[in-house]
Chains A and B, each alone.
Chain A
Amino acid sequence: MDDVLQIEPLAGRRFAATGIALEPAPFCERFSLRAGPEEVAEVGKEIGIALPVKPKSSKTLKKISALWLGPDEWLIMAAPETGLSAKMSKLDGTLCSAVDVSHRNTAIYVEGPNALAVLNAGCPQNLSLTAFPKGACSRTIIGKSEIILLRESPERFRVECWRSFSDYVWNFLVDAGKSAQI
């Protein structure tokens, strides 16, 4: 990935209000992984992280995260220094599909005691700690844009969205953040 331009469409943006802070996440490598039930274990072994098979669950190990998106679909994310693409190339020969989507997505951290209210301004899912505990992840919607939501801690969420929608998602969260403090 050394020779690849690291696109950060939200670079330099910051927002903070009462009980809420927004911050663009640093660039990371992402893979869209598809594999059938018979290959799950083998794929997990090759990339060094057991893929979660429970709906809405994720697993993080040595800075690599695997997010369950569907019964045969995962999003694998890792910081550039972990060499995720080298690990992924080991899958050559295994029946699966791994597509580099590092530049398709970007991410925003939503943090603070009001994070839940800000996200629920546009996300229809139940984000209470019982329904969406720490480590839970799901593809869902915010406003008019599709996102992948990951709860890193009770008050910290990672919002993955498509790069071209990131301006919309950011402004949506800022608007929600402004009204959350009223």
Chain B
Amino acid sequence: MLLIQCPYCQEDRPEIEFQGAGEAHIARPANIADISDAEFSEYFFIRDNTKGIVFERWRHTHGCGRFFNAVRNSISDKFIMTYKAGEPKPELTEEQIKAAAPISKKPAADKPEPSPSKAEKAK
């Protein structure tokens, strides 16, 4: 089971107590009545859906009940950090990003796949 750090309870709690609530840091336009339908749909429906590092809202539903923000790698599912709602987007260090990177199964780019042998080509 995944353990998630709740910034309000200040400890790691089991994943089952939490609910994900979509992308974080989406500001509601102050002039919501004036914007066009296209602008509204951009704000309301369109999400980045990044592959890799994502900033998300989470809620400790079956705990303190609070919304907070989390930084997560969407490929490896590893949490980098969590922070209280309303706090600015944190700067991530290289080490933090590396620690959450998925374990690569593909061979490294500088080692090309072996080309088929002459015998196989002859067939």
Contacts and interface: CB of A to CB of B under 8 A. Distances in A.
Q: Is the interface of A mostly helix, strand, loop or mixed?
A: strand
B1 A73 contact: no
A164 interface: no
Contacts of B99: none
B64 to A, nearest CB: 4
A105 interface: no
B63 A138 contact: yes
Contacts of A124: 1, 14, 16-17
Contacts of B22: none
B62 A140 contact: yes
B95 to A, nearest CB: 28
Given A71-B64, A140-B63, A55 B13 contact: no
Contacts of B66: 70-71
| Interface range for A | 10 to 19
A146 B16 CA distance: 11
A163 B116 CA distance: 69
B97 to A, nearest CB: 29
B92 interface: no
A125 B14 contact: yes
A139 B16 contact: no
B9 A56 contact: yes
B84 to A, nearest CB: 9
B8 to A, nearest CB: 5
A139 B64 CA distance: 7
A55 B17 contact: no
Given A69-B65, A71-B64, A140 B17 contact: yes
A141 B11 CA distance: 16
B93 interface: no
Contact of A141 (B8, B10, B62, B64): B62
A114 to B, nearest CB: 21
Interface string A139-168: 111000010000000000000000000000
Contacts of A71: 8, 64, 66
Interface in B52-83: 62-66
A71 B84 CA distance: 12
A55 B8 contact: yes
Give the top 6 A-B pairs by smallest Cβ distance, nearest first.
A70-B64, A124-B14, A55-B9, A141-B62, A70-B65, A146-B62
